Amino acid sequence: MRVHFRAGISLLTMLPVLGAASIESRLSQPLLNSKETMVEAQIYLASRVQPMPPIRDRDEWEKYAAGLRGQILDNVVFRGEAAHWRNLPVKVEWLDTIPANGYRLRKFRYQVLPGLWLPALLYEPAELKARVPVVINVNGHEGEGMAIPYIQQRCIHLARNGVLAFNYEWYSKGQMNLKGYSHARMNQLDLTGTSGLAPFFLAIQHLLDVALTHPNADPTRVAVTGLSGGGWQTILFSALDPRVTLAAPVAGYSSFVTRTQFPVQDLGDSEQTPVDLGRYADYTHLTALLAPRASLLTHNAFDNCCFRADYAIGPLLVAAQPFFALLEHPERLRYHANFDQGHNYGEDNRQTFYRFLGEFFFPSGGFPDQEEPSDLRTPEALRMPLPEPNEDFHTLAERLSEKLPRPLAISAAESREKLREIVRWTDYRVTAQPAGADSAAWRLSMNGNWTVPAVEFDSDGATGATLVLGDAGKAKLTTEIQPLLDRRQRVIAIDPFYFGECRIETRDYLYALLISALGERPLGVQAAQVAAVARWLRQKFGPVTVESFGPRTGLIALVAAAIETGAIREVKLHQGLATLREPIERDMEVTAAPELFCFGLLEWFDLKQLAALVAPRPVSNE
């Protein structure tokens, strides 16, 4: 690794031992520009989004599309134990039937994976004589779930006009509004090496499996539609399951590039930004995978939530239109911009969907777009009993973690390579630039992508160097640094990505999720930054001690030392984790500490195994 210095500037400037006030003043002095880390993240992440393939031949596209579906299903959706869940037969139990005006409402529950059941509804036409279309209605983030009025209205209208309308209760909404189904807890599964996305995908897949067992279901006329999180479910499932013949997502997604440009609106929760999806495909690819099936992209011009029409639709159309044309059906890709206020699947959007459905599923007579008054039901009336106990994301993660980590019967060098692979390690090259008037403060550029602030404290007679970092950021490390300086130690305080000055002010965890979605890991970025700073310091002082304060930076320091064997001579952890199981044992959400949920880390490593990779160098955890 080459280290870059500016001519005429020494690496470190000798300073007298400082008092607490002076230390605190220097630590709190900003070294980065406002929003610098956020802008770096926006540029870097957008640059990693997969481009559309340069395909101009139908056969080549069809081969590519089949391969891409397989890659996403195998390497994103069904990783770990989910590969077993994928092949299990569907279990369904039909419950009450409620007669109604022009249709009947049938309650049922079905098993998504072993021990996890979901409630669902079938709005069934009162008279059924032949094969009829199926519409899978998927819900978004609305709290009342299946009881939301517009969802009931749409399902009733579909059933009254000869469509089998299925609707299920999404995780953490309606009847499933329990802590264990919080979407930010799906990442507990990721930590064990099993895809947290799998329960989401299987919920829709098995609902369609149930739907197609209905004796009147027409497998050539299968539609999926929903708003927001339901729009996301629509695009993901429809792109990956060719049984869907019509897709109508509403205000549910945008390109990963768009999301970096409109982060407050569009970045998306854990399920919408799943680990490694972006290694294989952007949402532009998923839109193209709909070809040549009927596809209606609906977005709202005055959306107060996300995926607004003016910026979300265009990039999706630009990406997908050539492939619909290549398959000789450009007319099947449509879009609709709604001008009602807010994040909605209101009357205009529903009527547009009904007309689109009529054009492709009822070409002879169309489909009525005017809804009749509906007998809407309360949430209590739609509830149904579920087996107890019913698994949730947390209990699944507890069970999956019981026998982890797996034994690794390989050499230390091979284990280290395994760890590099899990955290998606990058060997950063440091370019150092002095930061402002403080001659012992530095801006450390990592491959030109990330900037890490560093502040040096030195005194006459100091030997070696101690690199410090803390969960609360370097500005809060005065109390921790003072004793080190009193013992005549040289100290360099830094803020790696996501901490202190490098913390993104708004919805920071969503950037961490996007890093994982695009094939890297927050933990890998952070630990590699620490290792790079250690290598930079080694050029002047030899191997350094890394001292961390807090459980999160403790894991970062330990991983850095486990992989960087030459520049780090000792690791001292304060208030560190007792085990990598803590995020599961404490039932944490990914929002609290994204790097602790590194995909598959617990499958192969706990603190004992990481410390063994540091050995024979000393590791302490106080």
Q: What is the pLDDT of residues 3-32, one digit of tens each?
A: 332 333 344 444 444 677 899 999 999 999
**In terms of Cα–Cα distance, which of 73, 106, 54, 64 is closest to 210?**
106
Question: What is the set of domains in the chain, with CATH numbers?
Answer: 20-30+403-621 (3.40.50.1820), 68-387 (3.40.50.1820)
Q: What is the pLDDT of residues 290-335, one digit of tens each?
A: 999 999 999 999 999 999 999 999 999 999 999 999 999 999 999 9
* Distance between CA atoms of residues 326 and 324, nearest Å: 5
pLDDT higher than threshold 60 for residue 589: yes
Give the dihedral of Cα atoms 263, 265, 269, 271; nearest 10 deg. -100
pLDDT higher than threshold 70 for residue 145: yes
Q: For residue 149, say if its preceding peptide bond is cis, omega within 30 degrees of 0.
A: no
Mean pLDDT within 417-430: 98
In the numeric block, the tokens 């599964």 are attached to 189
Given pLDDT bands bounded at 50, 70 and 90, which one contains residue 439? confident
In the numeric block, the tokens 């139990």 are attached to 93
Q: For the whole model, what pTM was predicted? A: 0.95
Say what the pLDDT of residue 174 is. Answer: 97
Say what the pLDDT of residue 18 is. Answer: 60
Name the percent of the chain lying above pLDDT 70: 97
531 and 560 Cβ atoms separated by less than 8 Å: yes
pLDDT higher than threshold 80 for residue 113: yes
Q: What is the pLDDT of residues 500-532, one digit of tens each?
A: 999 998 888 999 999 999 999 999 999 999 999
Element (H, E) at 340: strand 333-341
Say what the pLDDT of residue 177 is. Answer: 97
User: HSE of 437 in the Cβ direction (CA atoms, 13 Å)?
Assistant: 2
Q: What is the pLDDT of residues 529-559, one digit of tens each?
A: 999 999 999 999 999 999 999 999 999 999 9
**Secondary structure letter of residue 370 according to DSSP:** P
Say what the pLDDT of residue 2 is. Answer: 32
Name the percent of the chain lying above pLDDT 90: 90
Q: What is the CA radius of gyration of the chain?
A: 27
Of 17-26, 75-84, 395-404, where does mean pLDDT reach its minimum? Answer: 17-26
213 and 108 Cβ atoms separated by less than 8 Å: no
What DSSP string runs through 222-236? EEEEEETHHHHHHHH
Say what the pLDDT of residue 6 is. Answer: 33
Q: For residue 389, say if its preceding peptide bond is cis, omega within 30 degrees of 0.
A: yes
Give Cα separations from 433 to 5, 14, 452, 494 (angstroms): 7, 17, 11, 14
Region of residue 495 (phi > 0: left; psi between -120 and 50: alpha; otherwise: beta)? beta
- Tell me the backbone φ, ψ of residue 512, rounded to 5 degrees: -60, -40
Mean pLDDT of the chain: 94
Say what the pLDDT of residue 472 is. Answer: 97
